[in-house]
A and B are shown apart, each in its own frame.
Chain A
Amino acid sequence: GAVVSQHPSRVICKSGTSVKIECRSLDFQATTMFWYRQFPKKSLMLMATSNEGSKATYEQGVEKDKFLINHASLTLSTLTVTSAHPEDSSFYICSASADTPSGNTIYFGEGSWLTVV
């Protein structure tokens, strides 16, 4: 299957600093990528939809100025958590939409654990 890679897998940052998480589709081009946040034992919460070459579409309640998303190429989307606070600590996951002969499929990255201290 297609591969989506996230980096870093774990990051610890100080409160008030910014941290960037990368999401790469390694063997296919993804015009659309998605960013999620997941709390322990909960389902994925969609934060935003990232389209290559255009502005991301954010879900209601997600601060676009705090969670900056850039999708500059067909294989890379980045999520930057700006002025991070301890409540931003969470598991962040990206996914990429792939067109297959049968239809659309989405593949997930490995996830990134963010801890803000």
Chain B
Amino acid sequence: GQQLNQSPQSMFIQEGEDVSMNCTSSSIFNTWLWYKQDPGEGPVLLIALYKAGELTSNGRLTAQFGITRKDSFLNISASIPSDVGIYFCAGQPTANTGNQFYFGTGTSLTVIP
């Protein structure tokens, strides 16, 4: 299936720093989801976005549904060691059949204490 373009691929940051990552698609999406996956576990839903321009927070995490409907951003403020993991975006195209979602390639985050 189609994969979304997610960047950066990996990040190494100092504890306390802010983090930004994004996903882009070639088509218009009506849903953007952000997940975190710890090693050996299934992805956990962080934030769900359903409207263009929507800005939603979950603790130190904030995600936005791009106004072009072709991108989404995830920010993590004041990172802590437990933020380490792989972050995935997922999107559902507007022209969707069968509840299909497409995934980003993931951003691996390492937080240095």
Q: List residues of A whose CB falls within 8 A of some B CB.
A: 1, 4, 6, 31-32, 34, 41-44, 46, 49, 51, 57, 59, 91, 93, 95, 97, 100, 102-111, 113
Contact = CB atoms under 8 A, between A and B. Distances in A.
A4 B104 CA distance: 21
A51 B105 contact: no
Contact of B42 (A49, A51, A102, A109): A109
A108 B103 contact: no
A113 B86 CA distance: 18
A91 B92 CA distance: 24
Given A32-B98, A43-B106, A59-B1, A107 B41 contact: no
B50 A102 contact: yes
A103 B50 contact: yes
Nearest to B104: A43
Interface of B: 1, 3, 30-31, 33, 35, 40-45, 48, 50, 86, 88, 90, 92, 98-101, 103-106, 108
B88 A107 contact: no
A6 B45 contact: no
Nearest to A44: B103
B40 A41 contact: no
Contacts of A1: 45
A102 B48 contact: yes
Contacts of A110: 41-42
A108 B88 CA distance: 12
A100 B33 CA distance: 13
A34 B1 CA distance: 12
A79 to B, nearest CB: 14
Contacts of B86: 41
Contacts of B35: 108
Given A43-B105, A49-B100, A111 B1 contact: no
A109 B105 CA distance: 19
B98 A103 contact: no
A63 B1 CA distance: 15
Given A59-B1, A93-B42, A106 B98 contact: no
